[in-house]
Amino acid sequence: MGWFDRLFGKKNDAAPAEAAPAPAPGETIPPERVGINGEYDQSGLAKRVALAFDNDASITDIETLWVAQTGSKVVLKGKVPDQGSLNKMVSVASGVSGATEVDTSQVTIG
């Protein structure tokens, strides 16, 4: 099991339970709300961060860590084994389109 499957269920089941209406002509989806398939998704940024973690071979799934979002801020919560792992995750999460900051204040190391 990877990050995405553990946090959000299977990738094929990742569509929001209730689809939001498409943006009106001329309107765009905010970058933090773009889902994994380009659709509007309230948790789009968090899902794309989880996928980025899955796609980085140097990051293994840490079952004691969760990915969330508050607007365009990625929020990591839980426990990681070491500072190096956390630093790598912050680097990857920061590179995901729509992420303006990564909050690690709710992460403990050890």
The SS3 of residue 3 is: helix
DSSP-assigned letter for residue 68: E
79 and 110 Cβ atoms separated by less than 8 Å: yes
Residue 108 has a pLDDT of 98
Instruction: Answer for the pair 56, 85: CB distance below 8 angstroms, yes or no.
Output: no
pTM for the full model? 0.87
pLDDT at 17 over 50: no
Report pLDDT digits (tens) over 43-88. 999 999 999 999 999 999 999 999 999 999 999 999 999 999 999 9
